[in-house]
Structure 1
Amino acid sequence: MTDPQVGILMLVVFLFVIGFGFPIAFTLMAIGVGFGYYAMGNHIFELFVQRTFSVMANDVLISVPLFLFMGYIVERANILDRLFLSIELAAKNLPGSLAIATLLTCALFATATGIVGAVVTLMSLLALPAMLRAGYDPKLAAGVVCAGGCLGILIPPSVLLILYGATAGVSVVKLYAGAFLPGLMLAGLYVSYVVFRAIANPALAPKPPKEILDVPLPKVLWALATSFLPLAALIFTVLGAILFGLATPTEAAAVGAAGAIVLAIAYRSFSFAKLTESVYLTARSAAMVCWLFVGSATFSAVFAYLNGHEVVRQLIDYLDLSGTQFMILAQFIIFLLGWPLEWTEIIIIFVPIFLPLLQHYGVDPLFFGILVALNLQTSFLTPPVAMAAFYCKGVAPKSLSIEDIFKGIYPFVGMVLVAMVLLYVFPEIALWLPEQLYGGGGETPAGALESGGQGGGTTLFEPDAESASEGEVPAPAD
């Protein structure tokens, strides 16, 4: 077999093995080392050490545990019930007000935590029973909770965008700026869908009870001031510091983590036990991300050494695709990968296969990343994995079946596809804010770039093509 054929076999073996449920990170490392030993002998062990060091020395990944810690602290500050109630009171006169309050709470809380499982689970415990008691259609209620809880994948400070920036060599700051408006657009589409359904069929989303409608305005404003404003201030402080170049993502994440602790103390929800639990969960999640990167770094380096990417490039060349056709094909493949895989595997393993082709088709890596982040909403919403649906089912009333949850989710998957079409037709939705803040080809604020350049450069995990073809072990990335 030729080296490219071995590279494709390597990819097929990986997909086959993970189908049996083996841990992704260690499967990547084992297959990478195994095929690497076949391709380059003992040099694979030098490469493995180099790639591990390059991942652990990557500054941008420091922000991941800090943002996770911020999210876990906020999650345990017990402000979600107050936040939900205050937004419910503020939206009481809108059609489907309870569902709208759920979506807005999910969007704000997802922005603060970025942890999809936590948001979906907490809202399934809080908002889902409230909607069911109010007479909402169970499918609509479940769809609102699951879709709203996934907004943290796209809306900054998204961990997905940090990982994409580290993988693609794109500024995390620009990615955050680019994702801000698409995130609001998707949340707006969700709200519009709920309002349309509530107007078209009021029985799906009954009006709030009289005791909610009769709440005086001063009480509504006080509820917003004591629940919505503190969390919003924390979020906008963190994002504003990043977007306006006042701090790097890592520095802003550290400030956010400290602010979350202050917020928890202010709400009298801080304890040593909760702090210990948050630290443990942060360490566990961050370790998973880092080991995924180490495994992907080894796997991708060996795959490129075997010229596996060349087979993909030749296939695309053979298809003779236009730029639009390439984008549709790439997003369709990522959409399909979202059925059996989670977004971390897709970003770290499969997205790098498309990155070398972006320059050929004149695609901005920043725009491609935002489109991928929007697309990967579906990885949590579509079976057979559909983790959001299973998070919801795990705590939902027994009367709500998994089939009803999926039926409620499908219209929101349609809204994701509509958002993708709008973003592709009007790319300014993603590109306008980065251009306004940093200029089309200008510099980003000093110290803002932590992921290695303005985009479009060599990715963190790909070896230099010339050294790979000559059989040399690639040097670690800077």
Structure 2
Amino acid sequence: MSDPQIAVGMLLILLLAIFLGFPVAFTLMALGVAFGYYAYFDAGRMWRSYERAVESGADSWTLTESWVGGFFNNRIFDLFVNQTYSVMANDVLTAIPLFLFMGYIVERANIVDRLFNTLFIATRRLPGSMAVAALITCTLFATATGIVGAVVTLMGLLAFPAMLKAKYDVKYASGVICAGGTLGILIPPSILLIVYAATSGVSVVRMYAAALLPGLFLAGLYLTYVIGKAVLQPHLAPKPTKEQVGDHSFLEITWMMFTSFVPLAFLILAVLGAILFGFATPSEAAAIGALGGLLLAAAYRALTWQRLKESVYLTARTTAMVCWLFVGSATFASIFAYLGGQQFISEFVTGLDMSPLMFLIVAQLIIFLLGWPLEWTEIIVIFIPIFLPLLPHFGIDPLFFGILVAVNLQTAFLSPPMAMSAYYLKGIAPPHVRISDIFRGMMPYMTIVIVCMILMYLFPQIVYWLPNLIYG
């Protein structure tokens, strides 16, 4: 068996281990070290070391020590240590724990319930006003946290029961929560974009600028669908009663917006603006965001020692997961390329004589299917590096490809049978809400995501306009 065939077998073993439920980061490291030992193994050097010890008349203990030392004298261990250090010293990844901390502290500051109620009152005259308020809240909160499970769960506890109590259709209400909760991995400041930038070498700043309009465009398509559905089928979203919205003057609503919507929006815009306009690096802006989250929680009198401790713990846990994924992926990818696996795949794909459009469709379809069993972190860190070397051959910009991937991964949380958003919501929904109802509620949004990707391909200025405007 040739080395490239062994590399492909290595990839197949990884996929099998993932499907069997083994921890991905440690599976990557184990496979990288095991196959790397084979790749770098030099039997002659080990025997020469042992023979020198025999010729010198060494005792049995020294001979055993020489044998063991020769066995572990393999470059894979040096590679593993170097990859670990290079990942931990990566300046781009410094922003991840800071943005995560900002999200976790905002999540625990009781800001979302006030924001949802205010937006519901402010949009009370729109068709499907409660769903509109839930979607806007999801978008803003998801942007602040970037953690899909946290957004869907919290909004499922807050907005979903309120919509069901207001006689909203179960499928209509569940689709809004699930779709809105996924937007945080696309709209900056997104952790996914930082991870993709670190993987591909694309500037984080340009990634943020390129993702902003597609993210807002997708959210706008969601809003259009929600309002249009309520107009065409009013029974799905009954108009709010006076008891539900109360009697508020314009000044009261303005003050409510000022104290609930404005602070969180200002925090997000300040962080994003500092990055886009070059006032701060992503890591520095993330530090500002973390401090702003603390100040915001203190201003709402929600900053307690318990909440702070929980936020720090969750930040450390999630950051460790991402960083060890990078270590495992870097080790695995190095051995995979050393054995010729990357070249084998490149030659196979280029030999198919596909057009750039066909390659994009195939690549996005593979990513869509990988989104069923895998989290976005695993897809970005493990499988995107396989596609990246093929992009120059097809003349595809890694920036554009990355934004397409970020939009595509919305479907990973919305497509049955493994749509994680549905299971997050089902876990906290009332017993009468069936998983099949949640699935049916999400399907229109998956179609909207596909439409958004098609429009991005037909009109690439949706991606390029803002980065070209700011940076030339």
Common fold, TM-score beyond 0.5? yes
In structure 2, the residue matched to 1:147 is 179
In structure 1, the residue matched to 2:446 is 413
The one-letter code matched in structure 1 to 2:445 is F
How far is 1:404 from its partner? 0.9
Q: Deviations over 1:191-219 (max 9, x none)?
A: 11111111111001111112327432222
In structure 2, the residue matched to 1:52 is 84
C-alpha distance in structure 2 between counterparts of 1:206 and 1:197, whole Å: 12
Matches within 5 A, 1:51-450: 51-211=83-243, 212=245, 214-439=247-472
Q: Deviations over 1:418-464 (max 9, x none)?
A: 1111111111101110011111xxxxxxxxxxxxxxxxxxxxxxxxx
How far is 1:259 from its partner? 0.6
The one-letter code matched in structure 1 to 2:23 is P
In structure 1, the residue matched to 2:10 is 10
Q: Percent identity, please.
A: 64
C-alpha distance in structure 2 between counterparts of 1:390 and 1:248, whole Å: 36
How far is 1:115 from its partner? 1.2
1:35 aligns with 2:67: no
Moved more, 311-320 or 426-435: 311-320
C-alpha distance in structure 2 between counterparts of 1:21 and 1:382, whole Å: 20
C-alpha distance in structure 1 between counterparts of 2:286 and 2:418, whole Å: 30
Q: Is the 8 A contact 1:337 1:346 kept in 2?
A: yes
C-alpha distance in structure 1 between counterparts of 2:302 and 2:247, whole Å: 30
Q: Unaligned 5+ residue runs, structure 1?
A: 440-478
How far is 1:240 from its partner? 0.4
Larger Rg: 2
In structure 1, the residue matched to 2:57 is none
How far is 1:360 from its partner? 1.1
The one-letter code matched in structure 2 to 1:302 is I
In structure 1, the residue matched to 2:26 is 26
Residue aligned with 1:321, SS:
coil
C-alpha distance in structure 2 between counterparts of 1:169 and 1:317, whole Å: 23
Residue aligned with 1:58, SS:
coil
How far is 1:43 from its partner? 1.2
Q: Deviations over 1:70-93 (max 9, x none)?
A: 001101110101100111111111
Q: Is the 8 A contact 1:338 1:380 kept in 2?
A: yes
Residue aligned with 1:310, SS:
helix
C-alpha distance in structure 2 between counterparts of 1:423 and 1:410, whole Å: 20
Residue aligned with 2:238, SS:
coil
C-alpha distance in structure 1 between counterparts of 2:27 and 2:412, whole Å: 21
C-alpha distance in structure 2 between counterparts of 1:144 and 1:77, whole Å: 23
How far is 1:311 from its partner? 1.9
Q: Is the 8 A contact 1:161 1:176 kept in 2?
A: yes
Q: Deviations over 1:269-290 (max 9, x none)?
A: 0111111111001000000000
How far is 1:383 from its partner? 3.2
Q: Is the 8 A contact 1:339 1:379 kept in 2?
A: yes
Q: Is the 8 A contact 1:78 1:269 kept in 2?
A: yes
C-alpha distance in structure 2 between counterparts of 1:67 and 1:384, whole Å: 31
Q: TM-score of the superposition, structure 2-length normalised?
A: 0.92
Higher relative contact order (CA 8 A, sep 6+): 1
C-alpha distance in structure 2 between counterparts of 1:135 and 1:340, whole Å: 34
The one-letter code matched in structure 2 to 1:283 is A
How far is 1:384 from its partner? 3.7
Residue aligned with 1:359, SS:
helix
C-alpha distance in structure 2 between counterparts of 1:304 and 1:203, whole Å: 57
C-alpha distance in structure 1 between counterparts of 2:391 and 2:199, whole Å: 14
Which has the larger helix fraction?
Answer: 2
Q: TM-score of the superposition, structure 1-length normalised?
A: 0.91
Q: Unaligned 5+ residue runs, structure 2?
A: 42-73
C-alpha distance in structure 2 between counterparts of 1:236 and 1:288, whole Å: 28
C-alpha distance in structure 2 between counterparts of 1:219 and 1:129, whole Å: 26
The one-letter code matched in structure 2 to 1:354 is F
How far is 1:139 from its partner? 0.8
C-alpha distance in structure 2 between counterparts of 1:332 and 1:424, whole Å: 15
Residue aligned with 1:340, SS:
coil
C-alpha distance in structure 1 between counterparts of 2:427 and 2:105, whole Å: 23
C-alpha distance in structure 1 between counterparts of 2:183 and 2:2, whole Å: 44
Q: Give runs of ≥4 in structure 1 deviating > 3 Å.
A: none
Matches within 5 A, 1:458-469: none
Residue aligned with 2:115, SS:
helix
Residue aligned with 2:257, SS:
helix
Q: Is the 8 A contact 1:341 1:385 kept in 2?
A: no
